[in-house]
Amino acid sequence: MLETTNPIAEARAPRANTEAVALVLFDGARVAHQLPAKARFLLQLAAACYWRTSQLGDERGDRVGRDLLLAMPLPQLSAEQQAIAACAVALQREKLRPKRESSFVWLGAKDQRSALALAAIIRLARALDIAPADMLVQAEDAGTSLIVGGAAAEATSAAAEAAAGPWREAIGPLSVRVVADDQLAQLRAGPAPGDPQFDERLDRMLALVPLPSADLGGEPIAEAARRALRRFFDKLLAREEAVLRDEDSEDVHQMRVATRRLRAALQTLEGVYAPDLIRRYRRGLRRIAQSLGAVRDGDVFLEHVVAYRDALPAPQHAALAPLIAAVSAERSQARAALEHDLASRRYHTFKREFAAFLSTPGAGNLASPEPGITQRMRDFAGSAIWRRYELWRAYEAALPAGDEAVLHQARIAGKRFRYTLEFFAEVLGPRVDIVLDPLIALQENLGTLQDIVTAHAHVAALGLAGDPGAQAYLATRTDERAPLLAALPTLWGKVDSGTYRRRLFELIVKI
C-alpha cells in the first residue's frame, strides 16, 4: 500500500544539503543547461524524493522513487512535468540507460533533454559531500566550471570527476578544480552565500507523495496494477537493444515473455481500465510478440536439432544438413521481419502511447464498480487469481482422453494462470513459490509435449516430410512422448489437489 501518513517531507535537515548543492549547481549553470524556470522546482522534487526513498533500504531506490512520484496526480504539475521528475529519479540507477525507462520513452525530445539534465545535476550533487559555501559554479557558452575549496576539496574533486559523465553528456563540458579558501573568496567576489532559496511549495507537495507500506493489499488497484505493468514494460525495453544486436537467443526469449506477461495482465485487468485502451495495447503487444515468437521458435528448434546432430556419430551428421539449412534460412527471414517491426513507426507509436498510459496516474481508470469506494488490491486480486485457476482446472474433464489440441489449450490456460500469479506476486508474499513451482513443473511437461507436435508440423511445412535425416530426428522426438504422457497425471494432480487449492486460498485470504 502507499502510505500517506508518513510523508517524504519529514527529515528536511538530513536531506537539505543534497538539495542545496543541486540548486547551487542548477542556479550557477543556467547558461549551460538552459532549462526553464519550472525545472528548478522539478529538480527539488526529484532530489528530495530520491533522498527519502534511498533511506528506506531498498536496493532499487531509483525505481521506488519513480513509482512513488507516479502514484497519483500532483497538483500544479502536468503529466509531462510529473514524468520528468520521476524520470530524473529513475535515472539515478547505477548505469544510465534512459531508453530502458518507460517514463522517458513517452516524453518528447525537449522533455527528455530536461529529464537527462536534471538527472545529471542530482547525480553530481549526490557525489559532492560539501557545503554550498565551499563551492562555486561558473558557466558560459564554452562549458561549466565547478570550483571547490574547504578541507575535503581534493576528495570532493575526485568524487565530482567520477560522477561528471552524465553531466557532460546531457549539459556539456564540465571542469573541476580545487582552490584555496582565500582564492575561492576572491573568485566569488563577495561573501559566501547561504543556502539557496527553496521553493515553499515543496513540502506541501511532498506531503502528498505516498510512502510504501507493508499493507500492499490496501493500495488502489488501478495504480498498483499500473506500477506492476510499468515494471514488466521496463523488462521489455531492457531487452530491445540486445535483441537488435542478435548476440544471445535468450534476449528474444525474455522480450517475448515480457510481451506475454503484459498481455495476460491487461486481460486480467478488464474492469479496471477502459476496454478500448486494453484492446489497443494488447493488440500492439500481440503484433510484436508474433514477430518475436517466429524468431524464438526457430531458435529453439534449431538448438534442439543441432544438439541431436552433435550427439550422433560424426558420419551421420551430414544427414541433418538439409534440415539445419532449411531451419536456418527460415530463422533468417523471421529475424529480418523482426528487425523491420522493431524499427517501424507503428511499433514506436505503440511504445510511446503505452508508456504514456503507464506514466500518467489515473489514465484510463474506470469508475469503481460500487459507488463511494476506491477498489483496492485486496478487493480485486483474489477473485482474479481464483478465476484463472478455475479456467485452468476446467480442463481436467477433458484431460483423460485429451488430444494434442486439448493439451495445448490446457497449457495456454496454465500459462495465463501462472502469469496472473506472477503479476500479483508482490501482494501474495514471499511464499508464492509454493503454488508457482508445481504449476511450472506441469507447464514444462505440457510445453515439451507441444514442442513435439510443433516439430512434426515444422518439418512438414519445410517440405522435408520425405527427408531421411529429418524423419530420423522426428522419430526420436516421438519417442519422448510416452514418458511425458505417463508423468502428466501426477504433475496435473499436484496442481489439481485439495492441498494446492488450500495453499492458494491461504495466500489469497492474507492479501
pLDDT at res. 131: 84
C-alpha R_g of the chain: 28
Residue 147 phi, psi dihedral angles, 5° rounding: -110, 125
Measure CA 362 to chain center.
19
Q: Beta-carbon neighbour count of residue 386 at 10 Å?
A: 15
**Mean per-residue pLDDT for 349-378?**
94
Picking from 372, 70, 93, 353, the residue whose alpha carbon sits closest to that of residue 225 is 70
pLDDT at res. 190: 61
Provide the pLDDT confidence category of residue 56 given band limits of 50, 70 and 90: confident
What rounded mean pLDDT belongs to the chain? 91
| 3-class secondary structure, 163 | coil
Evaluated on CA atoms 250, 253, 254, 255, the torsion sign reads positive
Is the pLDDT assigned to residue 189 strictly greater than 90? no
Q: Beta-carbon neighbour count of residue 234 at 10 Å?
A: 20
Give the fold, CATH level 3, of 2-189: Hypothetical protein af1432 (1.10.3210)
Query: Residues 29, 101: contact at Cβ < 8 Å?
Result: no
User: How many residues are recorded in the chain?
Assistant: 511
CA atoms within 13 A on the CB side of 270: 10
| CATH-assigned architecture of domain 380-511 | Alpha solenoid (1.40)
Provide the pLDDT confidence category of residue 11 given band limits of 50, 70 and 90: very low
Query: What pTM does this model have?
Result: 0.88
- The β-bridge relationship of strands 143-148 and 174-178 is parallel
In angstroms, the CA 19 to CA 493 distance is 58
pLDDT at res. 127: 92
Query: Residues 320, 471: contact at Cβ < 8 Å?
Result: no
**Mean per-residue pLDDT for 151-172?**
94
* Superfamily of domain 214-365 in the CATH hierarchy: CHAD domain (1.40.20.10)
393-445 tens-digit pLDDT: 999 888 777 789 999 999 999 999 999 999 999 999 999 999 999 999 999 99
Q: Do domains 214-365 and 380-511 have the same CATH topology?
A: yes
What b/e readout covers 68-94, taking b as 16+ CB neighbours within 10 angstroms? bbbbbebeebebbbbbbbbbbbbbbbe
Is the pLDDT assigned to residue 196 strictly greater than 60? yes
DSSP 71: S
SS3 string, 322-381, reads HHHHHHHHHHHHHHHHHHHHHHCHHHHHHHHHHHHHHHCCCCCECCCCCCCCCCEHHHCH
Query: Residues 52, 45: contact at Cβ < 8 Å?
Result: no
Tell me how many degrees the CA angle 411-412-417 measures, rounded to the nearest 5. 95
Picking from 434, 383, 388, the residue whose alpha carbon sits closest to that of residue 414 is 388
The domain spans of the chain are 2-189, 214-365, 380-511
- Alpha carbon dihedral 348, 358, 118, 57, in 10-degree steps, equals -130
**Residue ranges in 219-274 assigned as alpha helix (H):** 221-245, 249-268
Measure CA 254 to chain center.
12
Query: Residues 63, 93: contact at Cβ < 8 Å?
Result: yes
**Mean per-residue pLDDT for 141-153?**
90
